[in-house]
């Protein structure tokens, strides 16, 4: 996989993490149109605050690190962001306002800016059109890099992401960077990105924890004329692929469940119901144990929408209907077989409304607990 | 501990669970004033629907079983409730409408009514003034029975409860039964109970899953004249004690955390913020690991109230201030020492409003996941 035209990237190990690359740079040959969608958490990290403020102006570079979120770091955090973007700007001969930044890792630790700045030269020396080293440098507890590509005529859309935990309602410690060479005005790019994020990253859940650092940024280098409807489709495809890769690589996760909600009053209601099932620790434990304990799905739906009429509700696991119109049904042994797969569907019909949505979620395992009992300080 | 005057109870093993007593009966010598607070889950179980409908009339008996929730069981579930209350009524010579019922255990399995009805005689033969066997018969994954008593002049308030998992916002697979011998009109009893539940059972969280079976019932036998303000205080005490016992005995839990929120706009906002911290899987894992990862507390607060101004926020662990007015602070080693206790406080100042609340929560451990990956079918 290659970056679209006019884009290059590199990665190095600068010593924030104990092993592996932890610093990545993406450079645009000429100023790129820039759009972004960020966490709505009030404890948004310093890099989020900086990069959010850059929306509307073209950018020349993106600097990202893993191993430290630079979140809840107060004045030190703000200073660090200024220092790293100034250093990149000095190297590229642009203004620091032309540089966006992102960080992921533990919260509350001071960002070691000297290590970052001291390695910019090495990054510049390694720039290439291969996005994979950059994608790898974003990894925290991810077990593989996440990349996706879609074609748009002569151009393309290429995205990279990292996920793992703190993935929830409205994104999470999740970074995604998407680049296209298609010409697209900024406002249009922003609305295309927002739409694609809503139907992908905002419909996944690992642990229902919304992070301080979630960022999805999109860059258009404007090298290729292309159809914007096709660009929209390609953006959706790339975002959907990255979102699914994130859930598949959920911390400690062993299963991907597709929660399909139908019959809700509208899409938002369907998404809320799907996320309620996705967030149920009890159901997620049952999924880990391949136990078709569908009552936990019903209980999650019923606590999300207290007006739900159980006589209109159906729950199925795979194609096995387990609860239908107020009555238990189905064969647990068939449902258990479905749940033994590492990718299966939970169907929830909640009425006869037009609202439908698919939410992707992971199971809750002892490995998740182990990973998150030991992660920082 | 003894039941208040005019009350007796018994327990037997009727074979719903593989071991231990699983069926309990409480009998009131004369019709008792009755009040109740129930789950608001739309998937409310058949016994909840029955017992909720009894509010406002006096009752003669309470029949409760563990090992089967009789939830999401459709017409069979409704029939089962009719059969068990009719059988108790026949034995006591009252109407089935004078009997309330409760069930707890796995969802979606047919209640074995014959086992229950066949053991009513044994229950009647064993009636005594000791509430403990009845409290034991309610246990599912509880590791000890939960009882509490408070005096009101010559009378008393005695409560028993079961908890363990599915304990969340607005109660959970949690049953509590409270009996007093103080004279109290029904409407007053209902409002006293609602107030006490709001400030106790509705401020605890084990796993943020709200159950289909939550019930808190209160009975007043009217044998003793007493001060109703004192009754209110006693009810609060008993509910608070039972609620704390439930969190202490959380499935897989090793720690009790007291999340104290201050400075919110009002009490409801303070409770919501406290519950957001209580529901954060990431923070709960950190608590299990005794890791003072306070950023996870901040992140939970910030995703609950997106308007929070971090410059007015303080987070402390025990008396160690870890984040203050936008800046990290404190010594992690001191905070870790606090977290090594099995009972500690997380302080969250979120502004300068008058709203404050304490929410009790448990940590998330590999044992919780193990228990809930294997519980049913």
The per-residue pLDDT for A208 is 55
Between A165, A289, A366, which is nearest B282 by CB? A165
Q: Is position A140 annotated as part of the catalytic site?
A: no
Between A71, A168, A291, which is nearest B373 by CB? A291
DSSP conformation letters of B183-246: ---HHHHHHHHHHHHHTTGGGEESSSPPPS--EEEEEEEEEE---HHHHHHHHHHHHHHHHHHH
Report the Cα–Cα distance between both ends of chain A, in Å, rounded: 37
Q: Do A369 and B285 touch (CB under 8 A)?
A: yes
Please name every residue paired with B62 in a beta bridge, in sequence order, or none if there are none: B26, B100
Q: Do B328 and A72 touch (CB under 8 A)?
A: yes
From chain B residues 64-83, the ones with a CB under 8 A of any chain A CB are 69, 71-75
Q: Which of A315, A311, A284 is nearest to A298 (CA)?
A: A315
From chain B residues 104-143, the ones with a CB under 8 A of any chain A CB are 106-108, 110
- Residue pair B267/B357 in contact by the 8 Å Cβ criterion: yes
Q: Which stretches of chain B score pLDDT less than 70?
A: 164-173, 206-210, 375-377
> Within 13 Å, how many C-alpha atoms sit on residue A78's CB side?
6
Distance from C-alpha of B80 to C-alpha of B77, rounded to nearest angstrom: 5
How far off is chain A from B4, nearest CA to CA, in Å? Answer: 35
**Backbone φ, ψ for residue B304 (5° rounding):** -85, -45
Q: Which stretches of chain A score pLDDT less than 50?
A: 167-172, 375, 377
Chain A interface, best mutation among B303, B329, B351, by max A CB count within 10 A: B303
Tokens 């390695």 belong to residue = A119
Q: Which of B189, B221, B183 is nearest to B31 (CA)?
A: B221
Which residues does B298 contact at the CB level (< 8 Å), separation at least 6?
Answer: A43, A72, A107, A108, A212, B310, B313, B315, B323
Tokens 């690359």 belong to residue = A21
The per-residue pLDDT for A168 is 42
Residue pairs between chains A and B whose CB atoms are closer than 8 Å: 229
- Residue pair B143/B33 in contact by the 8 Å Cβ criterion: no
The per-residue pLDDT for A355 is 96
Chain A residues touching B305 at Cβ < 8 A? 42
Tokens of B328: 């990290």
The per-residue pLDDT for A142 is 85
Distance from C-alpha of B87 to C-alpha of B195, rounded to nearest angstrom: 34
What is the chain A residue with the closest CA to B40?
A: A306
Q: Quick check: A340 contacting B, CB < 8 Å? A: no
Q: Quick check: B166 contacting A, CB < 8 Å? A: yes
The per-residue pLDDT for A312 is 93
Out of B73, B140, B173, B180, which one is annotated catalytic? Answer: B173
Q: Measuring CA to CA, how many Å separate A73 from each of A58, A108, A372, B324?
A: 27, 5, 21, 11
Q: Do A281 and B309 touch (CB under 8 A)?
A: no
The per-residue pLDDT for A169 is 32
Rg (Cα) of chain B, in Å, rounded? 21
The per-residue pLDDT for A131 is 97
ipTM: 0.76
**Backbone φ, ψ for residue B357 (5° rounding):** -165, 155
The per-residue pLDDT for B171 is 34
Between B42, B307, B310, which is nearest A305 by CB? B42
Between B43, B168, B286, which is nearest A298 by CB? B43
The per-residue pLDDT for A212 is 77
Q: Do B281 and A336 touch (CB under 8 A)?
A: no
Chain B interface, best mutation among A166, A311, A373, A374, by max B CB count within 10 A: A373
Tell me the pTM: 0.83
Q: Quick check: B193 contacting A, CB < 8 Å? A: no
**Backbone φ, ψ for residue B225 (5° rounding):** -80, 135
Structural element, H or E, at residue B158: strand B155-162
């Amino acid at each position: 996989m290659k970056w679209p035209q006019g884009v290059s990237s590199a990665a190095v190990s600068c010593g924030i993490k104990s092993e592996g690359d932890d610093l990545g740079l993406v450079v645009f040959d000429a100023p790129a149109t820039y759009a972004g969608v960020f966490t709505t958490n009030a404890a948004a990290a310093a890099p989020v605050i900086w990069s959010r403020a850059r929306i509307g102006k073209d950018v020349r570079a993106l600097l990202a690190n893993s191993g430290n979120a630079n979140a809840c770091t107060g004045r030190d955090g703000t200073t660090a962001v200024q220092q790293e973007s100034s250093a990149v700007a000095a190297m590229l001969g642009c203004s620091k306002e032309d540089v966006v930044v992102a960080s992921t890792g533990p919260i509350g630790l001071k960002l070691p800016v000297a290590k970052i700045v001291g390695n910019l030269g090495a990054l510049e020396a390694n720039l290439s059109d291969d996005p994979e080293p950059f994608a790898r440098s974003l990894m925290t507890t991810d077990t593989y890099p996440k990349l996706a590509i879609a074609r748009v005529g002569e151009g393309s859309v290429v995205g990279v992401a990292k996920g793992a935990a703190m993935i929830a309602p409205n994104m999470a410690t999740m970074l995604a960077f998407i680049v296209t060479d298609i010409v697209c005005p900024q406002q249009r790019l922003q609305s295309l990105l927002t739409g694609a994020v809503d139907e992908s990253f905002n419909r996944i859940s690992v642990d229902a924890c919304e992070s301080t650092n979630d960022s999805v940024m999109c860059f258009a280098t404007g090298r290729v004329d292309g159809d914007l409807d096709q660009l929209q489709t390609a953006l959706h495809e790339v975002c959907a692929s990255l979102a699914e890769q994130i859930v598949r690589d959920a911390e400690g996760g062993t299963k991907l469940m597709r929660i399909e909600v139908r019959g809700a009053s509208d899409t938002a209601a369907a998404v809320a119901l799907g996320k309620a099932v996705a967030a149920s620790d009890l159901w997620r434990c049952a999924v880990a144990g391949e136990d078709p304990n569908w009552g936990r799905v019903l209980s999650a739906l019923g606590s999300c929408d207290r007006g739900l009429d159980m006589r209109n509700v159906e729950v199925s696991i795979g194609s096995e209907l387990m609860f239908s119109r107020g009555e238990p049904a189905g064969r647990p042994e068939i449902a258990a077989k479905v749940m033994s797969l590492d990718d299966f569907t939970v169907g929830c019909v909640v009425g006869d409304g037009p609202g439908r949505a698919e939410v992707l979620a992971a199971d809750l395992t002892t490995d998740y607990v182990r990973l998150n009992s030991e992660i920082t300080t």
